């Protein structure tokens, strides 16, 4: 009997130790500031691969994959209106994590603006559930760390294109992207203006808000949100910490009055951190999603009208 009890005891100790080591393996890389490594991670362009081009309704769509000297790979889609010649303004778009570079397909406009929509640099499975999510955590963590170098590498390529007006480059973050574009905008002076669309500050509160339908217990939900924020490098990359470094370049924030994804206190946290020169636009309706066509068209009109007018 004693032998059995000892076996059970040491088995539990081994299991508990393994769990601690696993979470340490997941967590330790997140304790260091990723920003000093951004320049090295961006590296220089070693190859630019055009994966295909198609024309629909007088608009050319193409897929490009950049490979950096650091090993970073950046995928994006380009949308170029064919009826216009000469140099055009450029919009670099970072949207929802599932939409990625396919976001260019959601834009319906004939205005003379080139759009490059980036995919998040990870190989995680967005459909994973339950225990299958754990292997993806490292991939998502790497993606959040690599977004800034990816945007800056894309800027290296796109700003050198003959049909791009390098003096009129706009960086647009929508939904998840609105939490991330402030960092590359602050670090890269080639960005003329940054747009934070349907975004907020205080990412821990936003994550907890969106976990309500998954975790009923408030304490457990807040713990999970705190841990997930660590995986997003939220302490280092939250937009509130970077907005002042973008000024005096322009910042435009667009929020929806009935946004069900963002708690109002998180939105206010973002607005409080804005420099005096920033502009805030409130629109009617809910959070932007691929199937909410009217909301997408409204946002496209706001952004593109301002770009053309300037």
pLDDT digits (tens, 9 = 90+) for 76-112: 999 999 888 889 999 999 998 778 888 988 998 889 9
Partners of 92 in beta bridges: 116, 171
Asked if residue 18 and residue 50 are part of one domain, the reply reads no
Asked if residue 183 and residue 118 are part of one domain, the reply reads yes
Asked if residue 104 and residue 11 are part of one domain, the reply reads no
Which structural domain, as residue segments, surrounds residue 9? 1-31
Asked if residue 67 and residue 7 are part of one domain, the reply reads no
Asked if residue 132 and residue 175 are part of one domain, the reply reads yes
Burial of 145 (0-12, 13-18, 19+ CB in 10 A): buried
What confidence score (pLDDT) does residue 187 get? 96
pLDDT tens digits, one per residue of 200-221: 999 999 999 999 988 888 888 9
Asked if residue 266 and residue 124 are part of one domain, the reply reads yes
- Which token pair is 308? 């053309």
Asked if residue 128 and residue 17 are part of one domain, the reply reads no
Tell me how far apart the alpha carbons of residues 177 and 24 are, in angstroms, rounded to a whole number: 28
Domain count, the chain: 2
Q: What is the pTM of this model?
A: 0.87
Task: List strand residue ranges (DSSP E) for the chain, in order.
Answer: 45-56, 59-68, 73-81, 88-94, 114-118, 164-174, 193-197, 250-256, 279-283
Decide if pLDDT at 17 tops 90: no
């Amino acid at each position: 009997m004693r032998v059995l009890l000892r076996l059970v005891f040491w088995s539990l100790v081994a299991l508990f130790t393994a769990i601690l080591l696993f979470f340490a393996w997941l967590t330790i890389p997140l304790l260091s500031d990723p920003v000093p490594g951004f320049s090295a991670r961006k590296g220089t362009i070693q190859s630019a691969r055009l994966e295909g081009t198609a024309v629909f309704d007088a608009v050319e769509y193409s897929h490009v994959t950049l490979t950096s000297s650091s090993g970073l790979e950046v995928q994006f889609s380009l949308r170029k209106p064919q009826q216009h010649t000469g140099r055009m303004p450029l919009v670099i778009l970072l949207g929802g994590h599932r939409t990625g570079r396919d976001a260019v397909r959601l834009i319906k406009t004939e205005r003379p603006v080139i759009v490059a929509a980036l995919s998040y640099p990870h190989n995680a499975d967005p459909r994973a559930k339950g225990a299958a999510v754990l292997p993806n955590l490292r991939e998502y963590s790497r993606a959040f760390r690599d977004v800034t170098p990816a945007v800056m590498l894309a800027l290296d390529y796109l700003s050198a294109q003959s049909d791009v007006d390098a003096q009129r480059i706009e960086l647009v973050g929508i939904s998840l992207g609105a939490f991330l574009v402030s960092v590359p905008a602050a670090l890269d002076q080639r960005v003329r203006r940054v747009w934070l669309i349907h975004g907020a500050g205080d990412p821990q509160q936003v994550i907890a808000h969106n976990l309500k339908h998954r975790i009923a217990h408030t304490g457990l939900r807040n713990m999970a949100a705190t841990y997930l924020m660590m995986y997003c490098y939220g302490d280092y990359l939250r937009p509130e910490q970077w907005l002042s470094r973008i000024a005096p370049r322009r910042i435009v924030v667009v929020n929806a009055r009935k946004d069900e994804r963002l708690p109002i206190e998180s939105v206010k946290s973002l607005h409080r951190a804005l420099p005096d020169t920033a502009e805030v636009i409130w629109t009617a309706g809910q959070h932007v999603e691929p199937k909410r066509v009217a909301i997408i068209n409204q946002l496209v009109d706001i952004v593109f009208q301002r770009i053309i007018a300037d």
